[in-house]
Structure formats: C-alpha cells, structure tokens
Structure 1
C-alpha cells in the first residue's frame, strides 16, 4: 500500500500543470537544496577542527551543545513560518476500501522525510563521525546523535500541533530574543546551562529513551488529530464562521483611496498567504541583529545600506512585488468597476510608504550600534519611498501569474516569475553599488546624502512617474485579465 501511495504522489507531482510551467524554478530549488546540503556537509566535517582552532582550551562538542537550544527553537520558528503538512489528495481515496489509518500514517511518515528534517543531518552525522575518529566514546556520540535526530523529528510533529497558534509562536520568538539579550549582555550563561543537559546525554546515552518516548507521544497526538479529520463529509462541507470585522474607519481620512486601502488591509489579515507574510515583518525588522553585533562587519559600511533597505522595505518588497497579483482572483471584476486606475495604484503606493516610515521608526534602536547606522537607515527609507516604490510598481506591470491566497507565503513560489527575481537587482544591489562607489571615491557622508537625494528626486517626480506607470498598467490590463484567468 505504501508503494502505491508513493506512485500516486510521484504521478501527481510530475503531471501537475504547475510543474510543467515552472521547470526552471524547480531546477533552481534543486540547486539551492544541493548548495545548502553541501554547505552543511562541509561545516559538519570541518566544524570540529574550526572550533578546536578558534577555541583551543574548550571542547568542540561542549561548544556545539551550548548552542543547540538556539538551533532547536530557531528551527521550530523557521518551520512555523515555512513548513506545511504534506497532505495528499485524499478525497478520491476516501471512497475506496483503504483504511483511513493507513492514509494518516503515510501523511505523517512523509512529513518525517521532509527537507527540514533531512538538511540538519548533513551537519550532525559528519560531525559525529569526526568525533568518533578523534577518540570520543562511541556509545556517547551515538546516543548524542540519535537524541538530536529524535529532537528534530519531535520538532517536526510539534510544529503541526502549534502551527495555527499565534500565542505559541510569540512564545518561541520571546525565547529566542530573551536568550539573545541574556547572552549579549552576559546576564547569565544560558547556552552553558542548556549545554550541560546535552553533555549529560553524551555521558549517559541511555537517556535517548526519554526522547524516543517524547517523539512517540507527539506522533500519537498528531495521529489522533488527523484521524478525526479524515472524513469525506468534513472535507466537502463548508464551515460557516462569523466574520470579525476590524474598525477601519481611520482610513476615511485618506479620501478616495480609503476603499482600496480597506480592501488591502482586509486581504492581508483574512488570507493565509498574506497573513503569514506579515510575520516576515518581524524578521525583516530584526535583520540587522545578525550583522551589526559582528565586529568583523563593523567597518563594512555598505552593509548598513543592505540592512537599511531590507529592514525598512520588508513589507514593500514582500507585498509590492506581487501587485496586482494579490487581486488576481477578482481582477476581472475589479477592472469592470468605474474608477480611475491611478487611484488603485496610488492606494498601493500609500500603504507601502506608510510601512516604510513605520519600520524605520521601529528600527531607531539600531542607533545603539552607532549613529552612522541610523543615518544610513534614514537615507534608505527616503530611497525606498522615492525610488523603490516606483520600481516595484513598474515591475508589477509584468506580473502574469495568479496567486492562491489560501496557501502560506514562505517557500511558496506560486505567482513568482522572472520579474520577481530580476527586480531584486534595482531594489537591493543598485543602492548598495551607488553607496559603495561614492563612499570609496569620496566619503561616507556624501554617499549617504546621494541615496537620500535620489529618494527626494523620486518623491518630487512622483506624479509624472505614477502617470507613466498607470499608462503601462492600462495598456496591459486585458493581458493581465487573461493571464489571471488561467489556472496554475
């Protein structure tokens, strides 16, 4: 039966219209998967020797153990945003003489072999082999390795239980931030405290049984939850829910743009694709915490531009690159209404501009790492408003792929075409190149001022730029209507 399920999965994947239309994208994803696998493999093989060289007085295994807490919690956050349960097309199977328990077990087993579970093994397994070759106790290393594998699988099933729980997600983020703050200000040696637990596992490999029991419990909980939902009437019946409408009366201050902005705000909050994309704002806002604390990058001022453009423009990039595909499901109806197209585009511009300013204000605490960072972030904000908003609106005239709003945003390439990859060059690389060149030839102050001036020029030419962009949208209107009518 399992082999039959696998054959059906194989045929469904390669016979789908999405595979036929996105061969290049699938090849690109395979390339990235191989790249990350090779990177983890290299780090797994050389990690022991790198740590031994950098910290000659400390045990490499103890160092790795001390940071496993961050790896586990970070993995769970990453899965929450990006992983989805690999559900088969089970409706046709439910009318056949196949036990529902077998279907559920196959779904859960398939999730255990996902990309998220396998990728970490490219580090842990080679690292364990090196430990054994370096004279570590074989039973201790194997106990440690199997414990890590069981934890990865446990995180996999735990994610499916808390996936729709925003409180659980907030708790995970708080743990990560709290651990980072405690470690950065040296309030408590949290990594060392957690690491002692993994050291104990190495010294007492029999404790692997505890984690096997935890995995079994999580598997059973997932099985019971899915088993209760695998019924044909549950899949085809429509659940009626009372819609909770937020008070959006404040948008009335924006005049004739209010109806469009209300629709966009409702779209962002009510649909899975856009709602999960909102969580990316927090990641974008905290993007600088990866770069700025590193002393090696302290004097690499072009990094300030990268972080400034991305942190203030996270929403601009994530939301703007799919204009007008967000409205693809009802674009035909929208275009039949009596309104000026410029109002429609101006509402998108207004939302993106407000987000850029708001994210800059929320990122002001980055001044802790130096006044130069805040100045560059301000210039990046002006550049995003004056230049990147118009660039991304113009790029939207080439969007031809429909978007399903009921799917998650992360690792979802539906609606992604060549324009989404090409547009990254003017959005990110161009301001970095301009800043880097002028900073090298003249000075930091002139380079920062140049970015701000380019932004102000874009703001001054806003009406002319919008008029030109609007003409392009109107010219391509019927082409986009036809494209959005096509199923992926």
Structure 2
C-alpha cells in the first residue's frame, strides 16, 4: 500500500509540474488555464467513483468512545474531522499545488491562482463528504454500488448528450471564482451543507446498540458444488465465496473485477500507448491482477472476526492459504479471458497480458500473501 501511495504521489507530482507544458502543446490556440478548468468535471466524477470503492468512513475507532461520557455530537465531529485527514484528500494537492506554482511562474496573477487553488481544496473536501452521503444511501440498497453508478452515469450522460454542458459550467464556475473572490462563498456553503448532512446521518446511527439490530432476510443459496474438485480446500473456498458476497466491502472488491476488465480502455485507444510495450505489461499486471491485489493484501485480515476459532481447529494453515491462493488464481485467469478482446488493438497486447497473468499467478500471489501477513488491521 505504501508503494501504491508513493507511485500515485509521483504520478500526481509529474502531472502537476508537466500539465502546463502538455496543455500548451495540445491546445496552442487556447489559454492553458482555461483548458485545465475544462477537465475539472472529469476529475470530480473520477475522484468520486474511486473514493466510493476505496475510501471508507473511519468509524471503527469510535466504538470505544460510545461507552464514555462524551457527547454524541463531539464524537460525530471527531469522525468527520478524521475523514478530512484521509490520503485521498491529500493526493490531489500533489498535482494542483505544483500546477498553481507553474501558472504563477508563467505570469498569471498570483491572487487569482491562489483563490482558484483554495476553491479546488474546498472541492476536494466536498467530494470527501459527498462520497459518505452516497455510501449512506448505498448501504440501504441491495446493490450497494448502484447509487454511485447512477450518480456518475447521469452526470456523464447530461454532459455527453449536451443536455447540460457540465464541463463548461464547472470550468466557467472555477474561472468565475478566480476572477471574483467573493464567489468562493458558494463552494464553502456547499461544503457546510455536505458536512451538516453527514452530521445528521451519522448522529442518528451513532448508538452503542445499533450494531445489535438483526436484519431478517431470505437466504439465497448459491450452487458452489464446482468447488468440490479442489479437494480438502473446498470448504474454505465455499466459505470465502459466501462471505465475499454477503459483506459490503468484499462485495465491492468483487465488483472491482469489472474495473480490471475495462482498465485497458483508459490507455489502448490512444495510439501512443500501443507502441510502448512495457506499458502493455504494466497495464496487463493491473488488469489481470485487480482482484488479486485488492483481495490479497487483506489476507488474513478478512477473517479477523473468527481467526482465533480457525487457529484452534484441527486445520492445516497451508490449506487455509491454498484456498485463498486458488481464489486469486481463478480471478487472474477469469480477468485474462475477459480481456482477450484487447487483441483488437494488436496481438502484442494479448501476449503481454498473457505474460502478466503468468507473473501474477507465479510471483504476485505469493508476494501479496506475504505482504498481507504484516497487516495488523481488522
């Protein structure tokens, strides 16, 4: 996770310092600052989508506080305040701060750029709290990922079919804030509303006995007889598959399979990436190993609820690990098969993906399992 964080920090820093030159080259007849604002809509919906699957409200650390004589409003403010310190809120700063410095160095008015930078920081916090509002509604839905897909699809559709030009509206809005600092009050008001709504939702749920309520649902038993061919590890695989589908967080991980399949579409339609063979291997590792990386890094943390029970049974630990290993291997094979249509962009891409899948099965599975053993979080 640290390597992932450092990788993205480096990517965002590179983007921040290089974006001005890229925009000047791509749009020679347009003001780079205006062009950059035209992409803010795509950044907002992309950030919102990524946060939904990867960022969770830090409520685990609150449970011990509920037994103490502390006001619930204080506890709620603590939880929401702690969410502000998330890595996802700091990551965009590694791009927008260097870009702002480059703009000021290129001759733009410093006061306008600083106001624009402040507006973007407020926007990052709005996205942070908006994500938790969407998650609160998704928790009540059978398909937990449906609300975020609906929100993003509607916004993207309105812009794509030019019903509401979101790129122009948001771009013009940020330019207006840069030119008229008094307009900064609008995003501040939106931030206050999002914070207040989160406060209201969380305050209603923050009771010590709220987790004791049982929800009666009809059990839909899946046919997992195909796992029997794996012998003594079949019971573990059945248990894992059932738990993955019953728990919201693991179900979100399973949904990442779709992102893994579509990952290449971010790069391969652009001719410059097709000629870069090393990029095909890099994309292949992520595309075929998306589930492997996200699921594997939390082994054995996924089973922390009953880990002590497992360790007290007459079960070989090798069987436990082998069942996880086979699940990850199956996900790699499945993602490779689903990614075969990438051959449309060239047979070399398919060969690179095949090599990446072999690497994921032979090397990455073991590295991720070993790394997961150091994860002390429940």
Q: Place the TM-score, normalised by the shorter chain, in its bin.
A: 0.7 to 0.9
CA contact under 8 A between 1:74 and 1:176: conserved in structure 2?
no
CA contact under 8 A between 1:143 and 1:206: conserved in structure 2?
no
How far 1:280 sits from its partner (Å)?
2.7
Pick aligned residue for 2:262 from 286, 298, 315: 286
Q: How does 1:142-291 map to 2 (within 5 A)?
A: 142-164=114-136, 165=138, 166-171=145-150, 174=153, 191=167, 194-234=170-210, 238-249=212-223, 251-255=224-228, 257=230, 259-291=235-267
Match of 1:475 in 2: none
- Following the alignment from structure 1 to structure 2, what is the Cα–Cα distance between the partners of residues 279 and 334? 30
How far 1:238 sits from its partner (Å)?
1.2
Distance 1:190 1:94, change over 3 A: closer
1:86 aligns with 2:58: yes
How far 1:68 sits from its partner (Å)?
0.7
Distance 1:50 1:102, change over 3 A: same
Q: List runs of 5+ in structure 2 lacking aligned partners.
A: 139-144
Distance 1:291 1:245, change over 3 A: same
- Following the alignment from structure 1 to structure 2, what is the Cα–Cα distance between the partners of residues 286 and 203? 39
- Following the alignment from structure 1 to structure 2, what is the Cα–Cα distance between the partners of residues 288 and 245? 37
CA RMSD of aligned residues (A): 4.3
1:48 aligns with 2:20: yes
Match of 2:141 in 1: none
- Following the alignment from structure 2 to structure 1, what is the Cα–Cα distance between the partners of residues 203 and 339? 45
- Following the alignment from structure 1 to structure 2, what is the Cα–Cα distance between the partners of residues 96 and 395? 42
Match of 1:365 in 2: 341
| Bigger Rg, which one | 1
Q: List runs of 5+ in structure 1 lacking aligned partners.
A: 1-27, 403-412, 416-487
How far 1:373 sits from its partner (Å)?
2.5
- Following the alignment from structure 1 to structure 2, what is the Cα–Cα distance between the partners of residues 189 and 369? 31
How far 1:145 sits from its partner (Å)?
2.7
How far 1:156 sits from its partner (Å)?
1.0
| 1:233-255 alpha-carbon deviations (Å, 9 max, x no partner) | 44xx5121225433312x32454
TM-score (norm 2): 0.76
Distance 1:205 1:351, change over 3 A: same
1:109 aligns with 2:85: no
How far 1:367 sits from its partner (Å)?
3.1
Pick aligned residue for 2:42 from 47, 70, 84: 70
Match of 2:32 in 1: 60
1:298 aligns with 2:274: yes
- Following the alignment from structure 1 to structure 2, what is the Cα–Cα distance between the partners of residues 155 and 244? 35
- Following the alignment from structure 1 to structure 2, what is the Cα–Cα distance between the partners of residues 365 and 400? 32
TM-score (norm 1): 0.61
Aligned length: 366
- Following the alignment from structure 1 to structure 2, what is the Cα–Cα distance between the partners of residues 393 and 46? 35
Pick aligned residue for 1:141 from 113, 125, 128: 113
CA contact under 8 A between 1:325 and 1:399: conserved in structure 2?
no
Which segment is superposed worse, 322-331 or 84-93? 322-331
Indicate the SS of the match to 2:205. coil
